[in-house]
């Protein structure tokens, strides 16, 4: 049994990839869930466009090749998406374009976000059960735009932040 919020978050992060993770803590039951974020897509852009610029590749009707979009320079990279002929042009941000290691890491992250999208992480505090034997949710917090293929350490950090919102503050007796 977890004794701290950090331990509880780490335990929940391990089990939520397969099914909702449920943990007992301080006499209450907590559940974490990861679900697809159906309202957010990296191709829609971002508030600060941390990833640079993205554009679906268009095919030239004369040559049959993908053409580079306007505004994309020689540093732009064409990414294959899925198992089809679909491609996306990616223009890395200027501040990382000269660092091949950073570009490779960012490219992998962007390909995952295009392929798998973002997730929503939800943490609930449950008390008692309803007539069907399901836990009754008395407090809930969620975070969207979480990378779908995030590491369990990152996921534990997100769950930990949400736990701070649903775990009641200790009271002095």
Least confidently predicted of 32-36, 115-119, 131-135, 161-165 = 115-119
Q: How far apart are CA 8 and CA 22, in angstroms?
A: 10
Q: Residue 40: which of 147, 150, 160 has the closest Cα?
A: 147
- Closest listed residue to residue 167, CA positions, set 4, 1, 14: 4
Q: For residue 48, what pLDDT is reported?
A: 55
Across the chain, where does the E strand assignment appear?
A: 21-25, 28-36, 53-56, 58-59, 66-67, 77-80, 87-91, 118-129, 135-147
Does residue 84 register a pLDDT over 70? no
Domain boundaries defined on the chain:
5-38+121-166, 42-116
Q: What is the mean pLDDT of residues 34-53?
A: 77
pLDDT value of residue 165: 92
Q: What is the pTM of this model?
A: 0.73
Q: What is the mean pLDDT of residues 159-167?
A: 91
Rounded to 5°, the CA angle 162-41-60 comes to 160
Helix (H, G, I), strand (E, B) or coil at 151: coil
State the pLDDT at residue 125. 94
Lowest-pLDDT range of 41-50, 83-92, 111-120: 41-50
Bridge partners of 22, per DSSP, are 31
- Rounded CA gap, 88 and 21, in Å? 35
With CA atoms as reference, report the closest residue to 129 among 140, 120, 116, 138.
Answer: 138
Rounded mean pLDDT, 27-35: 89
pLDDT over 60 at 1, yes or no: no
């Amino acid at each position: 049994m977890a004794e701290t919020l950090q331990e509880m978050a780490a335990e929940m992060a391990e089990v939520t990839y397969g099914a909702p993770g449920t943990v007992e803590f301080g006499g209450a039951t907590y559940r974490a869930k990861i679900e697809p974020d159906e309202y957010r897509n990296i191709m829609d852009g971002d508030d600060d466009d941390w990833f640079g610029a993205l554009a679906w590749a268009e095919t030239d009707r004369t040559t049959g090749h993908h053409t580079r979009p306007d505004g994309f320079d020689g540093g732009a990279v064409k990414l294959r998406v899925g198992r089809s002929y679909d491609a996306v042009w990616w223009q890395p941000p200027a501040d990382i374009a000269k660092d091949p290691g950073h570009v490779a890491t960012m490219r992998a992250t962007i390909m995952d976000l295009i392929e798998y999208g973002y997730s929503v992480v939800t943490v609930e505090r449950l008390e008692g059960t309803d007539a069907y034997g399901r836990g009754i949710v008395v407090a809930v917090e969620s975070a969207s735009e979480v990378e779908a293929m995030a590491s369990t350490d990152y996921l534990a950090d997100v769950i930990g932040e949400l736990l701070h919102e649903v775990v009641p503050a200790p009271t002095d007796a």
